[in-house]
Amino acid sequence: MSSVQIGQKSYEMPQREGISIAHFLTVADIERSARYYEKVFGARILSLGDGNAPGYLQLANIWMILNVGGGPTPDKPTVTLSVPDPNHINSFMNFRVADIQACYELWKSRGAGQAGRRAGGSRVARLAGASRRT
């Protein structure tokens, strides 16, 4: 699909050898979700999908796959993939950054979800709210 150069290494998705890890998010609207991650975090949209295909993003050093939910499939007849419930959190991404204050202000200005403080007083952008909207 695409590759990204980080330092002396190049990462591809899908790759030719080794391993790549992608964070899969079930969303209500692939394009709206992709545009959110592009606007707020600077993700690179590789594909918005077409028909039944998922969307693919490259964000920093991770890959993201965005797809809508769906019913059981022949290989998983008892599994249903559903959009997140806004009253329950079942997944999150942990962003490690060099300057949390700068990122907090930047992402908040770009429309990041709920903003809050950790118990120790440091600011965090609580992005669980972001996946509820996407």
At a CB cut-off of 8 Å and minimum separation 6, what does 104 contact? 115, 123, 124, 125
Main-chain dihedrals φ then ψ at residue 104, nearest 5 degrees: -55, -50
Which has more confidence, 134 or 42? Answer: 42
- CATH annotation of 2-133: 3.10.180
* Residue 52, pLDDT score: 78
pLDDT in tens, 80-133: 888 877 787 767 777 778 888 888 888 888 888 654 444 444 444 444 333 334
* Residue 37, pLDDT score: 93
Residue 96, SS3 per DSSP: coil
Which has more confidence, 118 or 74? Answer: 74
* Residue 15, pLDDT score: 66
pLDDT in tens, 25-48: 988 899 999 999 999 999 999 889
In the chain, domain spans? 2-133
